[in-house]
């Protein structure tokens, strides 16, 4: 940990940085999964899904930056390289051969649901560790992830 005048204890900051780096890896992975869908979607709903997947990716990009900056504000090192993400992400691998819109929607819905669950756990973990600010950060990310999941699932809930 880098020295800081932040009044949270080193123990608290160390624990919170560990949680943040774990969720940072998931968020970077999910952001790239949404970009994969954005780049490769095909079919009759192409433009709507292309734009939706780009919005989901952009929203995640903001959360990635917020988490990384919180890590460094606490005296930690944000570990956001591809190598760190590959070793740490808890999300399932994205199916690379997918082109059909519904298949992308299914893959992203599953990843968003898993991400949302892990972020809600992080809310509790960081709150119990004594960092209400990071817990609040995760609360905002959780709301955003749930909204993105809703937007994705709305396409899956429609009649064919």
- Which residues, in sequence order, are bridge partners of residue 100? 42
Show the domains of the chain with their CATH numbers: 10-157 (1.20.1260.10)
Residue written as token pair 């892990």: 118
Asked if 138 contacts 23 with a C-beta cutoff of 8 angstroms, the reply is yes
How many Cα atoms within 13 Å fall on the side-chain side of residue 6? 21
Residue written as token pair 């780049």: 39
Task: Report the chain (160 residues): mean pLDDT per 10 consecutive residues.
Answer: 94 98 98 98 94 98 98 98 95 95 97 98 98 98 98 85
How many Cα atoms within 13 Å fall on the side-chain side of residue 124? 5
pTM confidence score: 0.95
pLDDT value at residue 159: 64
Rounded Cα distance, 33 and 6, in Å:
35
Rounded Cα distance, 34 and 39, in Å:
9
Asked if 4 contacts 75 with a C-beta cutoff of 8 angstroms, the reply is yes
């Amino acid at each position: 940990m880098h020295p800081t005048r932040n009044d949270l204890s080193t123990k608290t900051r160390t624990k919170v940085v560990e949680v943040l780096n774990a969720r940072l890896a998931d968020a970077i992975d999910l952001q790239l999964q949404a970009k994969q869908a954005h780049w490769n979607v095909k079919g009759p709903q192409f433009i709507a899904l292309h734009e939706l997947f780009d919005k989901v990716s952009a929203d995640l990009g903001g959360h990635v930056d917020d988490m990384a900056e919180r890590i460094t504000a606490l005296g930690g090192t944000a570990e956001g390289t591809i190598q760190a993400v590959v070793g740490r992400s808890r999300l399932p691998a994205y199916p690379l051969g997918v082109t059909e819109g519904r298949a992308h929607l299914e893959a992203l819905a599953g990843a968003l649901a898993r991400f949302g669950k892990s972020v809600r756990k992080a809310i509790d973990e960081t709150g119990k560790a004594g960092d209400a600010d990071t817990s609040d950060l995760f609360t905002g990310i959780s709301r955003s992830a749930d909204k993105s999941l809703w937007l994705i699932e709305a396409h899956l809930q429609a009649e064919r």
